Each structure stands twice: as structure tokens, then as C-alpha cells.
Amino acid sequence: MRYVSVCSGMEAASVAWHPLGFTPVAFSEIEPFPCAVLAARFPNTPNHGSLTEYASWPIEQGSADILVGGTPCQSFSVGGRREGLDDPRGQLMFSFLGLAERLRPRWVLWENVPGVLSSGQPKGSDFGCLVQGLVERGYGVAWRVLDAIHFGTPQRRRRVFLVGCLGDWRASSEVLSLREGLRGYLTSGSKKRKDPASCSGAGVKANSQYFDFQAIGQYGNDGSASTLMARDYKDSKDLVVKPMSVPYTSSSFAQYAEGVGTVRASGGDLGGGSETLLAQPMAVRRLTPVECERLQGFPDNWSRISWKGKPEEECPDGPRYKACGNSMAVPVMRWIGERIAAYELNNPSQNHETK
């Protein structure tokens, strides 16, 4: 299957779908560092730049079977100002719809943060614009929130995934359906949430429960840690652990020995006298870029490229952290790709009728 990927980042979709035999037709990315990653990893696939200029792209209807992308989430996130479709970044949703109308792919796949489901006035109206826009263009759609932890990654990353199929809501619903016992089944968590999955015009819902998203450094009841926040892309000096010397007294020993960290004596008997102790306070270690790539399901050093005239061995950490944080989770994208491929294989007559 052929696909066009927009808001491409460092291309989670391509990493996920390459083993399935899917072929990228074109990318759309404007951030300098992700663009450099795309040029390094996919030198034969054109990057058409800004999604807002889709009308001028040298691409024709029928050239892609799938349109995939996660338009910017900042305007919908509960951690931001929530300007929704009043924010130019949020308005890229309409460019996505325009490109879908121009290409008329059989499938569309759109990803964003769960906050989009409550963005706008009345609540949820921003997401409703996307659903209505796709339905008006002939797509039957289904959507649900999936958490990357249930697809093999050691992190919690809840995202809305919307799938649309030209002329057939049943196909979209089947792609996102989950059954107990399958990889990716959403097991029960500490709190029940109202199921956000639904199907336009069909009333199809899947009853699932979701874990709460944890802040950085916090752990869920299954031992998994959360993802990095945007603030953690910056200076790491606050996360560097440095030993500190403290004079020994019975009170100071009790203070530092009681939950602060490892306490070591420089010599002698801790039962008396004056000693110099070394206290090691507890802290959360900063993840390395490779660890962040692994959390998202990328190969090691996928984002380590030659950058600003320096060799890849000197690629800075900052843009790598940001690219990882803005990416989709590869295992989730692979599962959806597998479901689309399976539907196509099992329904050849319907495929012919809609093309």
C-alpha cells in the first residue's frame, strides 16, 4: 500500500509500516531537524514542506492508498492554552481535510492528544469538525484512545487515533476493534473513564478502561514510567545527582539516613565521634536520546544524524529529545497498519468497488 505522511516528524509511520511492505509517496514536514532526519533516512522520498500548501504539491488523486498524520496537538492539549481551532496550529486540521479531498485515498489515519475530545465550545466541537469534514467527503470513521503501554512500549502515552475508510464505516470500526486476549487489549486501570471510542452514524462503541497519565518520574501500578514532558527537553542540570558532604552528628545522621539516600562514613565507628559523611540524595535520572527512541519504538540512534555541519557522533541531544517527544509510538502505528492490511486482504471485492 502507498501512503502520504503529513506532519511527518521523524516518521514513526514509515518505521512501523516498512515491515508490512507499505511504500511512502511523500512527506510533509517543516521543522529543520526532523526534515534533516527525513533526508538522511528517506533520501528518495520527497518532503513537500508545509501542509498549508498542499494544493500546490506535485501529487495526484489516486497516488496514495492512505493519508496519515498527527496535526499539531498544542492547541488541543490540556497542558496548553487550549485555543483549539482559533490557533493556526489547530487549523492544520482543515488542511488535512483538504488534502484528503484532493487525494481521495481509501484510508485516512489521524492522531492527536486526548484533549482534542473536549476542545472547543461546546466541548468536543473541534474534533466534531474533523469527523463531520471526513463524513462529508465520503468517509466512514471510527476513533478510540489507545495507550502505547499496551502495545509493548514501557511508557504511558495515550493518544486518539481516528481511522476513516472511503464509503465504509464498518471497515474503520473493524480496524480499531479490540478483543480481550489480543496484543493491545486495554486492561482495566485504577480509574474508569468514559469510553471515547465511537463510530460516526453507527453508534458502535467498545467498552474499555484506561490508566491515568502519570507525571514525569511517577510510576503506574504496573511499574511503568511516564513519558518526558516538554520541560525535560531543556537543561538537565537539575537532574544531575552530586554527592554532598555533611558533618556527622547523631541528629544529622538520623536525618540523612531516614529516606534521603545512601549514607557512607569516611571511617571510624558511626556510634560516636565526629565524622564526615557522604550523602547521595534520590533523584530521577534524565533519559538518554537512545532510551527515548526505544520508548517510542524506534531503532537505536534513528535520530542521530549529521547536523549543522557536524558528524552524527556530535549530534546534539536537544533536538533529538524534541523529535522523540513529538513522535507517534511505532508499535501502535504498526498494529493499526497490520489491521488495515488484514482488512484489505480479507475484503478484496470491497477494495475493488471503492477504488
Please report the pLDDT score of residue 78 as a whole number.
53
Please report the pLDDT score of residue 251 as a whole number.
55
State how many domains the chain has.
2
Tell me: the pLDDT tens digits for 254-311? Answer: 554 454 446 444 444 444 455 555 555 666 778 999 999 999 999 999 999 999 999 9
Measured between alpha carbons, how far is 66 from 47 in angstroms, rounded to an integer? 16
245 near 278, Cβ under 8 Å?
A: yes
Tell me: the pLDDT tens digits for 12-38? Answer: 999 999 999 999 999 999 999 999 999
Tell me: the pLDDT tens digits for 327-340? Answer: 999 999 999 999 99
Tell me: the pLDDT tens digits for 169-228? Answer: 899 999 999 764 444 444 444 444 333 233 222 222 222 222 222 233 333 444 444 444
- 19 and 93: one domain? yes
In a domain, 344, yes or no: yes
- 35 and 84: one domain? yes
- 218 and 267: one domain? no
Residue 305 grid coordinates: 544524524
> Pick from 136, 144, 123: which is nearest to 199 by CA?
144
> Which residue in 7, 35, 73, 324 is the catalytic one?
73
- 185 and 41: one domain? yes
In a domain, 234, yes or no: no
Measured between alpha carbons, how far is 117 from 128 in angstroms, rounded to an integer? 8
Residue 73 is a catalytic residue:
yes
- 323 and 276: one domain? no
In a domain, 20, yes or no: yes
Angstrom CA distances, 11 to 4, 15, 198, 298, stand at 11, 6, 27, 10
47: three-class secondary structure by DSSP: strand
- The CA-based angle 275-277-279, given to 5 degrees, is 165
23 near 65, Cβ under 8 Å?
A: no
Contacts for 228 with CB less than 8 Å, ≥ 6 apart? 216, 287, 292, 321, 324, 325
Of the listed ranges 11-25, 115-129, 152-166, the least confidently predicted one is: 115-129
Can you give the residue range of the structural domain that contains 135?
A: 2-228+288-354
Contacts for 151 with CB less than 8 Å, ≥ 6 apart? 183, 184, 329, 331, 332, 335
Whole-angstrom Cα Rg for the chain: 24
Helices (H), 138-180: 169-176
Cell 452514524, residue located: 201
215: three-class secondary structure by DSSP: coil
Angstrom CA distances, 100 to 71, 130, 202, 310, stand at 13, 11, 22, 39
- 175 and 113: one domain? yes
